[in-house]
Structure 1
């Protein structure tokens, strides 16, 4: 069974039930502060999902999202539910995943009007790429739908505010469409979840089914009939994405027995460094001109991880020197790595969990460098085993 689940959060019970019915044998998981989650596996897959209800609004969504991240150290956080479309081109029942999120209520009120000062969060590159792949596969929607009625997957901006938008002609509606005219949908939780993910290093995806047009028809009979379908469509895509995320985790996690470097690799390292430097050898011996290396794993797992993280830091710097990482990415990656090293050295009750979370965030930064990704995978697994 995979160690890290995918967290799925919803604001409404209708949305919660749309996800829950796709889980096998969900079990209650109670947070120490009373928040209830249900943890189950996706039917027919090994993907674990931790499902939670946030209630409406960015503030409550942010609090519950951070609580879920700290509790489960998830592969990703998916916020799933319904939203209103801002433009007629987006059909009712279609699903929108946020390429970026606008917190549109930021602004300054001046004599000549209200000036927009939004906060913006971009979706992490890796999860956006995976979602686009799932959309291209086009096997996520309810198979009973006729082709012409099947929901379409759309990627674009989502606007998140603090009030229900249900007018096309109000001053605020016109202001939103003027300043955020690339936004496909509008809702009330994405900004809070995106901020929680940003602060905790967890990838976040906002996935919304379109149930209304935010044009005065919300809460009509037509809207109420579309809400369950839109929620079901968003849940279907989210579950499909969660399964793909779990599949990628299975591919990257390396069994601990296979994570030790081979003798051949150590020989090459010694040969490459012996030309003009002193070679330090731990757990080995020198007889004459021969070097004997003890390749058996040390009993002290934490010390192995601590040393491996220092080795990774050297390789990180080398890849920066060789131009495979840009300066900004290198700086952020180095900050996370130093934090993981400190956590590993502390050896307190929660230090291993913090180290694992930090290394998983670091993985997202070096995703464009396969060599570093491959080296990082067993370190994440080792940190997780200690947690």
Structure 2
């Protein structure tokens, strides 16, 4: 299992939540102390940089070095909110955690005749089976109890929610709904709950990693909402300052995501798996001339 973070606040929260205090020399990764230095059930690391291309490169390198069965992308994201009945907002609140079900890459489009036509390439979306069996059930538990950081004061008191839904990956900080590009993108993905800058890169790398019948790694994305970004101008007018909200909630959102990640990993790796027999190979097949 590899847990991938991006910014320093995410890395610190995950290292603390997982108790990963042992630096694996020369790897840029951390783990709990292990009696067998060749076997770490969980390692924690940080992406080489922000955005989708560095995330893709980081996952590619991690797969080459460690051959993990699972990759978890853990950290913060912006929650996408929309105006509702002119007075209220619909969408996640700061401190909520979004489990990624489906990844949209909002940058890959064709522009023609003032239209924005979506284009696609192959990616591996988060595992529906892992979500169903291990991550989503946490929503019915008190997963947020005793988080190491207190919930910031303000209009979002109470208990954080754990929800599953779509995410949009972009290459810019989506904090201004007055920008036509942002409204245009979010308007096309009307069910998306959050926006980040790394999930499409991870999804692409995971698709490329499944290059053999003997190796098919799966992944999950766990994103704490640090701030809200609007899908329309009316919603924008109902929001507080985006930067101020992110500053207030970033650390708490990272801690909340790290907690959900740790509980998910505990469920995934609860039982040790016995060793498997070596693969015996298979004959080829061809057409005789």
SS at match of 1:48: coil
Distance 1:306 1:194, change over 3 A: closer
Higher Rg of the two aligned structures: 1
Contact 1:211 1:227 in 2 (8 A): yes
Shift of 1:198: 1.6
Aligned: 1:61 with 2:55: yes
Residue of 16, 19, 26 corresponding to 2:14: 19
Aligned: 1:224 with 2:253: no
Shift of 1:239: 0.8
Instruction: Write the distance in 2 (CA, Å) between the matches of 1:41 and 1:130.
Output: 28
Tell me what 1:203 maps to.
Answer: 218
SS at match of 1:128: helix
Contact 1:47 1:243 in 2 (8 A): no
Higher relative contact order (CA 8 A, sep 6+): 2
Normalised by the length of structure 2, the TM-score is: 0.77
Tell me what 1:166 maps to.
Answer: 175
Structure 2 unmatched ranges of 5 or more: 82-89, 152-156, 211-216, 231-235, 285-289
Instruction: Write the distance in 2 (CA, Å) between the matches of 1:62 and 1:71.
Output: 14
Instruction: Write the distance in 2 (CA, Å) between the matches of 1:156 and 1:124.
Output: 13
Moved over 6 A (4+): none
Distance 1:200 1:85, change over 3 A: same
**Residues 293-330 of structure 1, C-alpha deviation per residue, up to 9 Å, x if partnerless?**
xxxxxxxxxxx7344x55xx9xxxxxxxxxxxxxxxxx
Instruction: Write the distance in 1 (CA, Å) between the matches of 2:218 and 2:279.
Output: 25
**Residues 101-134 of structure 1, C-alpha deviation per residue, up to 9 Å, x if partnerless?**
1111001111232222244642223212223454
Tell me what 2:125 maps to.
Answer: 122
Residue of 2, 8, 23 corresponding to 1:7: 2
SS at match of 1:176: helix
Instruction: Write the distance in 1 (CA, Å) between the matches of 2:189 and 2:124.
Output: 14
**More helix by proportion, 1 or 2?**
1
Tell me what 2:287 maps to.
Answer: none
Instruction: Write the distance in 2 (CA, Å) between the matches of 1:177 and 1:41.
Output: 44
Structure 1 unmatched ranges of 5 or more: 1-5, 257-303, 314-337, 339-387
Instruction: Write the distance in 2 (CA, Å) between the matches of 1:47 and 1:136.
Output: 28
Contact 2:22 2:33 in 1 (8 A): no
Normalised by the length of structure 1, the TM-score is: 0.59
Question: What RMSD over aligned residues (CA atoms) do the two structures have, in Å?
Answer: 2.7
